[in-house]
A and B are shown apart, each in its own frame.
Chain A
Amino acid sequence: MRKIHLHPCGNFRERYDLELTVFSTDFGRLWAGIGLMILFAFVPLLASPYMMYVFNMIGIAAIAAIGLNILIGFTGQISLGHGAFFGVGAYAGAIFATALHMPMFVSIPAAGLVTAGIGMIFGIPSGRLKGLYLTIATLAGQFIIEYVLIHWESLTKGTMGITLPPARLLGLPIAGDIGFYYIIFIALAGMVWIAINLMRTRYGRAFIAIRDNDRAAEGMGIPIFPYKLLSFGISSFYAGFAGALWAFYMGSITAEPFNLGLSVEYIAMVIIGGLGSISGSIFGAVFITLLNETLRFATELLMNTGIVSQSGLNVAPLREFVFGLAIVLFILLEPRGLAEVWRIIRSGFRLWPFSY
């Protein structure tokens, strides 16, 4: 049996592959195992249907946010079109399921691949543009995709939307929120695993090199444009996968939710969670989804108790204001996001009587 690593009292890494390990101690491995067990064995037993819905939304948002973090946090290409790519995935999944009668476990990855292709098309400007010019190009992509989703009526049925057949897996119907919970979180665990390991390969290192200094990366022999396109493709695959999951979960889709607001929400998740951190994307997804649900709950409470009487319309503005405030406060006070807060808390425990 190999030696168990608990907490080393210094940095004893001698080779580069020790730096690259996913878990630096076996303690972390243990906690990851416990976490997965709680997630899959206990949460579905204890949570109410509403809580399951919230969990599912978090899972879907986390998949899309990880994708966006690969693009923004690791490759340094800011995209304002992620919400539209999510929508492309949702529509692709719905069309595969209704028009081509594909089973769910085929149509979701297929939707991811279609979205990856479209994401790479909108990534082409990154060959010539960078920084804010690229951001504006992806903003244009957002509006163009939105327009196509609404107006290509023979394919997307326009404002009518598409109703999906009930989700079935290997012939068995998926029973409500709990069935989807398992599908979504198994998918999320797989996607996290892929993303973490991707960043340890030469592709991931090339992405990080491009983020840190694209000219230096080019000088070191990294072909920038193919890698940027690859990053757009992978990121859009994640968005499309999450979108297709969402479409099956919701049962019917219209083009309305996939607007610029959704793209901003995903960027907010990535920033609030922490740029360039996979766990951060999950934190961000949890934070934003819970913020949305809390605000909805709070406004309903205020309206029911009659504190704000005339405010039939005032629900959305408050949400928008708090949402903007959260983004601004995180950028000003903790730009490295919740992942950094989590790291500080953890090291606080480890260093305990002498933590700072």
Chain B
Amino acid sequence: MDFFMQLLVGGLTVGFLYGLSAMGFVMIFKSSSVLNFAHGELLAIGAYFFLALTAWANLPIPIVFIIALGGCFVLGLLVERIFLRPLIGEPLIFVIMLTVGLAAMFKGLILLIWGGNLYTYPDFLPKILEIRWGMIRIPPVYGATLIIGTLFLTLFGLFFKFSSQGIYMRSVADNQRAALSLGVNVKRVFALSWAIAALVAGMSGMVLGIINGVNVHNLSAIGLKVFPVVILGGLDSIGGAIIGGIIIGLLETFTGGYLSPSLRDVVPYIVLVLILLIKPYGLFGLKEIERV
């Protein structure tokens, strides 16, 4: 029973992290229907910004956190302006391949600067966040993750629901041409959604870095694991991303615990194929009705 509880808690936390990582991905897809293969590298960039600022600049943590998030925001703006904007209206494969190329570029750049070693952040979280419950001990990191994650989730929920920019973003996602004709500045919406997505990705990367240590290979692998998560949750649903993440995380840890550790990494993709065959728009995705 202890083993089961351990797996359950482990799965929930891993899943929550997957969901958190998937949020930025969903945000880009929602507003510009770009499938971002460079998502894992955006996570890594956030994590390495944080690393560089904590380890070498020796600033206090909250300031570092804010500066790193700002850096990610600017990076998202730049990526959209330089690489994605010329491709508006081009066929899907060019956009997909562009993000694949960007992924290779970012990864190569990070490896050139920091190398492939595993880095860890200095320990800075207060001990109050540690949860003890019988035999189970949850380290403070997970408590902090839960708080940060919930905070971002509510913030973005409110942003999409009530702010004018959020409403513009939803309108562009719904129908780009109609939004254009109603006077929505679609270019600005794209730029903003890339910026916010990079910010969210950077935040998830930092959290992942606190928990697992910072390594570009691990982080970019998580970027690919986002695909099963968002397909399960529905490509354009932020809440779905969290729930899909938790399901995939639980599935992974239970397969790893009870069946075989090597099967762990491939199970999400088997699930992915099954979902695509049975229910392609996921649990909470918007169904596009189009008969072929």
Contact = CB atoms under 8 A, between A and B. Distances in A.
B292 A313 contact: no
Contacts of A104: none
Interface residues of A, number: 48
A294 B35 CA distance: 31
Interface stretch (B62-70, B85-93, B183-191): B85-93
Contact of B94 (A143, A317, A321, A335): A335
A331 B94 contact: yes
A271 B93 contact: yes
A125 B273 contact: yes
A264 B100 contact: yes
A224 B290 CA distance: 15
Interface string A116-132: 00000000110011111
B182 interface: no
A195 interface: no
B228 to A, nearest CB: 7
A325 B101 contact: yes
A123 to B, nearest CB: 12
B235 to A, nearest CB: 8
B108 A318 contact: yes
A214 B98 CA distance: 24
Given A135-B35, A140-B228, A321-B105, A267 B100 contact: yes
A215 B291 CA distance: 8
B92 A139 contact: no
A124 B112 CA distance: 41
B104 A264 contact: yes
A319 B109 CA distance: 10
A130 B292 CA distance: 9
Contacts of A27: none
A141 B93 contact: no
Given A264-B100, A321-B104, A147 B87 contact: no
Given A136-B276, A140-B270, A313-B116, A328 B262 contact: no
Contacts of B12: none
A327 interface: yes
A325 B102 CA distance: 7
Nearest to B115: A313
Q: How large is the interface on B (under 10, 10 to 19, 20 to 34, 35 or more residues)?
A: 35 or more
A224 B292 contact: yes
Contact of B266 (A78, A132, A144, A260): A144
B239 to A, nearest CB: 20
A175 B111 CA distance: 41
B292 A327 contact: no
Interface string A155-191: 0000000000000000000000000000000000000
A314 interface: yes
Contact of A147 (B102, B266, B273, B290): B266
B231 A136 contact: yes
Contacts of B110: 317
Contacts of A70: none
A191 to B, nearest CB: 23
A40 interface: no
A139 B40 CA distance: 15
Contacts of A128: 276-277, 280
A275 B112 contact: no
Contact of B86 (A264, A327, A332): A332
A78 B100 contact: no
B276 A143 contact: no
5 contacts: A136-B35, A140-B227, A320-B105, A322-B108, A331-B97
| 9 nearest A-B pairs in the assembled complex, by CB-CB distance | A321-B108, A324-B104, A327-B101, A317-B111, A324-B105, A320-B108, A140-B269, A328-B101, A147-B266
